[in-house]
Amino acid sequence: MTSLPTQFIAGETNITPAENQKGIDNHRIAAKHHEDAAKHHLDAAEHHKAGNHEKASESTIKAIGHHYLAGEAQREDAKQHSLYY
Protein backbone atom coordinates (compact mmCIF):
# COMPACT_ATOMS: atom_id res chain seq x y z
CA MET A 1 0.00 0.00 0.00
CA THR A 2 1.35 3.41 -0.89
CA SER A 3 0.66 6.78 0.67
CA LEU A 4 0.99 8.67 -2.62
CA PRO A 5 -2.12 10.52 -3.75
CA THR A 6 -4.21 8.62 -6.29
CA GLN A 7 -3.89 11.44 -8.80
CA PHE A 8 -0.11 11.10 -8.66
CA ILE A 9 -0.20 7.35 -9.20
CA ALA A 10 -2.69 7.66 -12.04
CA GLY A 11 -0.83 10.63 -13.52
CA GLU A 12 -3.93 12.80 -13.38
CA THR A 13 -2.77 16.14 -12.06
CA ASN A 14 -4.22 19.55 -12.78
CA ILE A 15 -1.00 21.14 -13.99
CA THR A 16 -1.35 23.90 -16.54
CA PRO A 17 1.06 24.11 -19.48
CA ALA A 18 2.62 27.21 -17.87
CA GLU A 19 3.17 25.38 -14.58
CA ASN A 20 4.64 22.44 -16.44
CA GLN A 21 7.02 24.73 -18.33
CA LYS A 22 8.08 26.34 -15.05
CA GLY A 23 8.95 22.88 -13.72
CA ILE A 24 10.95 22.07 -16.84
CA ASP A 25 12.80 25.38 -16.57
CA ASN A 26 13.60 24.83 -12.88
CA HIS A 27 15.06 21.40 -13.61
CA ARG A 28 17.14 22.76 -16.49
CA ILE A 29 18.41 25.67 -14.40
CA ALA A 30 19.37 23.34 -11.55
CA ALA A 31 21.11 20.94 -13.95
CA LYS A 32 23.09 23.75 -15.60
CA HIS A 33 24.29 25.02 -12.22
CA HIS A 34 25.26 21.48 -11.16
CA GLU A 35 27.26 21.13 -14.39
CA ASP A 36 28.96 24.49 -13.83
CA ALA A 37 29.74 23.58 -10.22
CA ALA A 38 31.30 20.29 -11.33
CA LYS A 39 33.44 22.13 -13.90
CA HIS A 40 34.72 24.53 -11.24
CA HIS A 41 35.47 21.66 -8.85
CA LEU A 42 37.48 19.93 -11.58
CA ASP A 43 39.28 23.20 -12.29
CA ALA A 44 40.08 23.54 -8.58
CA ALA A 45 41.54 20.04 -8.52
CA GLU A 46 43.79 20.86 -11.48
CA HIS A 47 44.90 24.13 -9.89
CA HIS A 48 45.77 22.28 -6.67
CA LYS A 49 47.69 19.70 -8.69
CA ALA A 50 49.67 22.51 -10.34
CA GLY A 51 50.35 24.09 -6.95
CA ASN A 52 48.23 27.16 -7.67
CA HIS A 53 46.17 27.17 -4.49
CA GLU A 54 44.88 30.72 -4.94
CA LYS A 55 43.26 29.81 -8.27
CA ALA A 56 41.98 26.60 -6.69
CA SER A 57 40.29 28.67 -3.99
CA GLU A 58 38.70 30.93 -6.60
CA SER A 59 37.35 27.92 -8.49
CA THR A 60 36.02 26.44 -5.26
CA ILE A 61 34.14 29.64 -4.40
CA LYS A 62 32.62 29.65 -7.91
CA ALA A 63 31.56 26.02 -7.45
CA ILE A 64 29.93 26.81 -4.12
CA GLY A 65 27.99 29.65 -5.75
CA HIS A 66 26.68 27.35 -8.45
CA HIS A 67 25.69 24.74 -5.84
CA TYR A 68 23.71 27.44 -4.05
CA LEU A 69 21.95 28.55 -7.25
CA ALA A 70 21.13 24.94 -8.14
CA GLY A 71 19.60 24.54 -4.70
CA GLU A 72 17.48 27.64 -5.23
CA ALA A 73 16.04 26.17 -8.44
CA GLN A 74 15.41 22.85 -6.68
CA ARG A 75 13.63 24.59 -3.80
CA GLU A 76 11.45 26.51 -6.27
CA ASP A 77 10.57 23.25 -8.00
CA ALA A 78 9.76 21.60 -4.66
CA LYS A 79 7.40 24.48 -3.84
CA GLN A 80 5.61 23.95 -7.15
CA HIS A 81 5.28 20.22 -6.48
CA SER A 82 3.83 20.85 -3.05
CA LEU A 83 1.09 22.96 -4.64
CA TYR A 84 0.01 20.08 -6.89
CA TYR A 85 -0.54 17.49 -4.19
Q: Does residue 30 form part of some domain?
A: yes
One-letter amino acid at 81 equals: H
Whether the per-residue pLDDT at 10 is higher than 80: the answer is no
Tell me the residue range of the domain where 23 lies. 19-84
Q: Average pLDDT for residues 33-53, to the nearest whole number?
A: 98
Q: Does residue 27 form part of some domain?
A: yes
Q: Average pLDDT for residues 42-65, to the nearest whole number?
A: 98
Q: Does residue 7 form part of some domain?
A: no
Decide if 37 contacts 63 (C-beta within 8 A).
yes
Decide if 76 contacts 24 (C-beta within 8 A).
no
Q: Does residue 63 form part of some domain?
A: yes
- Alpha carbon distance 37, 63 (integer Å): 4
Q: Does residue 31 form part of some domain?
A: yes
Q: Does residue 38 form part of some domain?
A: yes
State the pTM of this model: 0.78
Number of domains composing the chain: 1
Q: Does residue 12 form part of some domain?
A: no
